[in-house]
């Protein structure tokens, strides 16, 4: 497993690199966490959020290629310290409309080829939100508070598992 480097950076830039202006997918708000991925130096951007119901942490993840283009957009859900348990995905188009829903692992190959995806929590952490945007609490204050309360080792493990999963 490759070493992962992460830290809080702003929503405007990641490690000094501005977000591509052409990005169509709605961006979540809050503190971003950068993760170095693989040998091509592409980056995952992660944003910690909270589901509307239940004890869960949502990781917004967007992968940028070295040339600055967006590779894919994901949300990885961590629920009750069991990564990917009772999790479903909603695949979104660039307008934010849901175009498919399935178990997360069946969509990994598709996601690697540029589908926009969003993960919401199934019944173990509360009802699946009918509005995908409502599944994540949007305010910075609540995300920051959750980040303070979240165990650092758990986050490290989740990041490692997420990066390995999307290789």
Give the pLDDT means over successive 10-residue stretches in the chain (167 positions): 36 31 35 33 34 35 46 38 36 43 38 30 30 34 42 49 47
pLDDT value at residue 137:
30
Whether 143 contacts 50, CB under 8 Å = yes
Check: pTM over 0.85? Answer yes or no.
Answer: no
pLDDT value at residue 161:
52
The 10 Å CB-count burial string (b at 16+, else e) for 127-141 is ebbeebeebbbeeee
pLDDT value at residue 71:
40
Q: Is residue 78 part of a domain?
A: yes
Q: Is residue 149 part of a domain?
A: yes
Q: Is residue 1 part of a domain?
A: no
Q: State how many domains the chain has.
A: 1
Q: Is residue 3 part of a domain?
A: no
pLDDT value at residue 160:
53
Distances from the Cα of 96 to the Cα of 14, 42, 69, angstroms: 23, 24, 19
Q: Token pair for residue 119? A: 């993960």
Q: Is residue 2 part of a domain?
A: no
Taking the C-alpha atoms of residue 19 and residue 4, their distance in angstroms, rounded to an integer, is 21
pLDDT value at residue 37:
33
Q: Is residue 16 part of a domain?
A: yes
pLDDT value at residue 157:
54
Q: Which segments of the chain are extended strands (E)?
A: 8-9, 13-14, 17-18, 32-37, 42-50, 56-64, 70-79, 82-83, 87-92, 98-103, 116-121
Q: Is residue 98 part of a domain?
A: yes
- Range of the structural domain that residue 124 is part of: 8-165
Count of C-beta atoms within a 10 Å radius of residue 111? 21
Q: Is residue 127 part of a domain?
A: yes
């Amino acid at each position: 497993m490759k070493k992962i480097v992460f830290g809080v950076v702003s929503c405007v830039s990641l490690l000094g690199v501005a977000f591509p202006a052409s990005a169509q997918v709605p961006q979540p708000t809050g503190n971003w966490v950068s993760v170095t991925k693989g040998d091509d130096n592409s980056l995952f951007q992660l944003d910690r959020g909270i589901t509307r119901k239940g004890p869960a942490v949502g990781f917004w993840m967007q992968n940028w290629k070295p040339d600055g283009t967006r590779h894919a957009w994901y949300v990885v859900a961590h629920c009750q310290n069991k990564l990917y348990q009772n999790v479903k995905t909603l695949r979104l188009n660039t307008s934010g409309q849901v175009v498919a829903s399935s178990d997360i692992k069946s969509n990994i190959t598709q996601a690697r080829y540029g589908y926009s995806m969003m993960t919401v929590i199934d019944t173990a952490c509360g009802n699946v939100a009918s509005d995908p945007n409502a599944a994540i609490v949007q305010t910075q204050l609540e995300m920051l508070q959750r980040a303070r309360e979240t165990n650092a080792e758990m986050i490290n493990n989740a990041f490692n598992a997420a990066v390995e999963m999307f290789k």
